[in-house]
């Protein structure tokens, strides 16, 4: 990518596992220079997480490799005087500091916001935590599943018989990291206007509630408490997962014209004027009966064929893929979503590492990291030169 928008932005990354590293990975993709500060000998816990024991033993677990390409790694013990002094020098010249410790931890080891701001009035300090820096739960420990439960997310996931169910990936961590990255870029834009640094207090709980959108707003605005509906869409019918000849098929006929087109294409045109299905609200009230009739009609053809026919006619429809099938899809390949990088030299592997982009093209190009994920302390020897370079600005 010839012109990355955050080129020249200097980020100190004190983050661990997912929410924080995901945030700083997004910043690195956009061109920021991200220096990961890690505990000597231990580093980010994600270095030891993932399905491949060999990678975990090498402190380059799959969970770490996924979120840390393009970053530098420096080992500093922030509880020791020498480590604190080096970190202080880095703070003086950084643009952004991101951490996802439990609330108050960085302050307790000598770096509260007031001191950080005093060292560098233009610093943007982003603290990501489960519940935010204030409130009765601010010091409580939190992982993704804890936030999924407390946000109400699990209560609306699954069917009435199976809920509560955990979402199948760490969505609260990811949403927290995205919210943090958005806040950091907004703060950088604001600083261009007024020169001020800012303290960003990111709550994964609040970010998750915000991301739940209609599930929350339907309750706070209209007093309607959402319920688990499995693979069905509460706002429309027919909208959900249906059964084709060879497997499941998602259809979202949310508009009247889409419903009518669907009925014609599956050979059930009489449903368009049927008293129980003619209107949006009546279709929702008789959802089960309508779904049964459509499933019978859809069983005549394979899911891939229905996907092609319905999509071409303007009815949103698609098969349900596995992760492996989604990753191998032509759509993401055409947009260069995955970047190919060499594995860290310590692994002595000849194959390549695939890492994900951001999902946003800039002037037609997918942001991608320019270097692979770092070994623990890989850039220790470069710290004096880095400090000298940073201090010139």
Q: Which residues are catalytic?
A: 173
If 0-12 CB within 10 Å is exposed, 13-18 middle and 19+ buried, where does residue 144 land?
buried
- In degrees and rounded to multiples of 5, residue 391 shows phi and psi of -75, -10
CA distance 19 to 178: 8
Q: Shortest CA distance to 173 belongs to which of 338, 20, 370?
A: 20
CA distances from 33 to 8, 26, 288 (A): 7, 11, 54
CB 12 within 8 A of CB 91: yes
Sheet containing 317-319: order of strands: 239-243, 248-252, 317-319
Distance CA 13, CA 79 (A): 17
Q: Which residues contact 341 (CB under 8 A, 6 or more apart)?
A: 69, 352, 353, 354, 355, 369, 371, 372
Q: What are phi and psi of 314, to 5 degrees?
A: 90, 10
Q: How far apart are CA 267 and CA 299, in angstroms?
A: 12
């Amino acid at each position: 990518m010839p012109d990355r928008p955050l080129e020249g932005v200097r980020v100190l990354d004190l983050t661990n596992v997912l929410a924080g590293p995901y945030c700083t990975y997004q910043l690195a993709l956009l061109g920021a220079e991200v220096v990961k500060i890690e505990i000597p000998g231990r580093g980010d816990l994600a270095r030891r997480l993932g399905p491949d024991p060999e990678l975990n033993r090498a402190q380059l677990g799959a969970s770490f490799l996924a979120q840390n390409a393009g970053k530098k790694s420096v080992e500093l013990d922030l509880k020791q005087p020498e480590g604190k002094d080096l970190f202080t020098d880095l703070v003086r010249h950084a643009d952004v500091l991101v951490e996802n410790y439990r609330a108050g931890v960085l302050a307790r080891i000598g770096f509260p916001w007031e001191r950080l701001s005093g060292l560098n009035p233009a610093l943007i300090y982003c603290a990501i935590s489960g519940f935010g820096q204030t409130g009765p739960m601010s010091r409580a420990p939190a992982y993704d599943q804890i936030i999924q439960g407390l946000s109400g997310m699990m209560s609306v996931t699954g069917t009435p018989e199976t809920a509560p169910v955990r979402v199948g990936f760490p969505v609260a961590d990811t949403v927290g990291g995205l919210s943090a990255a958005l806040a950091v870029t907004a703060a950088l834009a604001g600083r261009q206007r007024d020169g001020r640094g800012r303290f960003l207090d990111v709550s994964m709980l609040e970010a998750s509630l915000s991301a739940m959108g209609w599930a929350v707003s339907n309750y706070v605005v209209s007093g309607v408490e959402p319920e688990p509906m499995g693979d069905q869409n509460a706002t429309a019918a027919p909208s959900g997962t249906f059964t084709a000849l060879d497997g499941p098929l998602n259809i979202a006929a949310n508009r009247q014209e889409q419903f009518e087109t669907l009925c014609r294409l599956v050979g059930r045109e009489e449903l368009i004027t049927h008293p129980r299905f003619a209107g949006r609200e009546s279709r929702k009230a008789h959802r089960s009966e309508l779904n049964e009739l459509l499933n019978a009609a859809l069983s005549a053809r394979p899911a891939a064929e229905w996907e092609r026919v319905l999509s071409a006619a303007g009815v949103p429809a698609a098969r349900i893929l596995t992760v492996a099938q989604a990753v191998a899809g032509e759509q993401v390949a055409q947009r260069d979503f995955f970047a190919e990088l060499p594995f860290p030299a310590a692994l002595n592997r000849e194959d390549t590492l695939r890492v994900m982009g951001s999902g946003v093209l800039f002037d037609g190009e997918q942001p991608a990291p320019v270097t692979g994920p770092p070994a623990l302390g890989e850039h220790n020897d470069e710290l004096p030169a880095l400090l000298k370079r940073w201090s010139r600005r």
